[in-house]
Structure 1
């Protein structure tokens, strides 16, 4: 359910690095490659582990840019186990197995994980773009095989490692002053999606603290099929009246 929940800490490597934060020309010329789309869909293998709790499923995902993410999880035997939608202000998921549903506001999720979570972040993780768009305020560090774009938004610091060849986000880490929670997100298996470079695999490790106890969530995502859709998609979703909210 919370397979896209994010963020963490990363300390920038300084060895053989060149700081380009004040080089206006380089900032203007260096642009991260993004995938333009209105509708997007994937069929994805999904693995989730939180302590002793494990989930393995196939996920069908549909996206309407900057508006809606729809997903359906099938644990096995072709039977739907869960269905959910993510909008600009909330995440709702139906649990078919236990005949119940969950509803979270982004404000509530942000308080729970001590990070500011929003729709843009969820969409960016799926598509492989930077969660926060590149801007002239960012610092850039050039290294042998990559650029690192450093972003500071309030108390949040993000490190976006961009491959020289792919021009895509290959690793994301982040940190906040208040939280000890950390996450590392890596993108691999870059191939062409039409004329655009797309990462077909993403691996995440989220370390978090709850009641002074350290926990770890690991998430593996592998897109078997990804499509930039030319026609509008449908997003079928309704909560049965008999389902209880958890």
Structure 2
């Protein structure tokens, strides 16, 4: 998501036992219902308005996002119709460049995971863009509670990192998901609105990403204006000559 704003965000993740049933339904049943609605696709093409803001600035750009399921994601960021940045993400690599400073990054998820302080991989990014849970909920243990918002699943297996997911009570779609590391004083919260139903599945047309750190708060909002499935897509990407490489330490 940081790539969409030509900046990098700090992200973050929670907690142990089996959950009792909550009002006649168990955490396992809520999770199973969520995956009954999983999107079925081979490719996705998205056009989106993007708004980035922090304590220092606010930027409005457009983004073109192409996804080939489980293989690659290409993000092109434009301002006034001019491509300002591009990112190519695959299961084994992350690469992006931005024109303003003439810089680029090439690497895998290892450095980004260490820098963010939580595990990051291709699946999490793909899921976040399409309104699906960061993690495979069927592989974890979760406590279940209910509120006016919906069903809340709290991860019971992580230690110093905390994860929670709020799902709609009727459609079991993700309304929000949060990953927090209290000791590092940082958290990322992603919330979704305005789900639209396609034959391939239901996708949120509005996404708000909020990151909280000791040095301040950052927001990135996506408003999808075009979304199509299963078209033949191309993924052109090459780093311009003369750009300076960025290293993550």
- Report the Cα offset of residue 120 of structure 1: 1.3
- Report the Cα offset of residue 216 of structure 1: 1.4
Aligned residue runs from structure 1 range 147-166, under 5 A: 147-155=151-159, 156-166=161-171
Partner of 2:63: 59
The alignment status of 1:38 with 2:42, answered yes or no, reads yes
Q: Deviations over 1:194-221 (max 9, x none)?
A: 3622210011210123xxxx22111111
Judged with a 3 Å threshold, the aligned counterparts in structure 2 of structure 1 residues 91 and 153 are, in CA distance, closer, same or farther, namely farther
Partners of 1:154 and 1:140 in 2: CA distance: 13
Q: Is the 8 A contact 1:9 1:184 kept in 2?
A: no
Q: Deviations over 1:46-103 (max 9, x none)?
A: 1112330333210000011112110111111x11111111122332112234433223
Judged with a 3 Å threshold, the aligned counterparts in structure 2 of structure 1 residues 83 and 110 are, in CA distance, closer, same or farther, namely same
TM-score (norm 1): 0.82
The alignment status of 1:83 with 2:86, answered yes or no, reads yes
Q: Is the 8 A contact 1:193 1:226 kept in 2?
A: no
Aligned CA-pair RMSD? 2.8
Judged with a 3 Å threshold, the aligned counterparts in structure 2 of structure 1 residues 137 and 239 are, in CA distance, closer, same or farther, namely closer
Aligned residue runs from structure 1 range 9-28, under 5 A: 19-20=20-21, 27-28=28-29
Instruction: Identify the match of residue 202 of structure 1 among 187, 191, 207.
Output: 207
TM-score (norm 2): 0.81
Partner of 1:14: none
Partner of 2:221: 220
Structure 2 gap ranges (5+): none
Partners of 2:53 and 2:93 in 1: CA distance: 23
The alignment status of 1:113 with 2:113, answered yes or no, reads no
Structure 1 gap ranges (5+): 12-17
Q: Deviations over 1:177-205 (max 9, x none)?
A: 65321122110112212362221001121
SS in 2 for 1:116: coil
Relative to its length, the structure with more strand (as a share) is: 1
Partners of 2:236 and 2:166 in 1: CA distance: 36
Q: Is the 8 A contact 1:67 1:88 kept in 2?
A: yes
Q: Deviations over 1:119-138 (max 9, x none)?
A: 11111110110111121643
Comparing 183-192 and 49-58, the one that deviates more: 49-58
Partner of 1:243: 243
Judged with a 3 Å threshold, the aligned counterparts in structure 2 of structure 1 residues 58 and 101 are, in CA distance, closer, same or farther, namely same
Relative to its length, the structure with more helix (as a share) is: 2
Partners of 2:141 and 2:94 in 1: CA distance: 30
The alignment status of 1:130 with 2:133, answered yes or no, reads yes
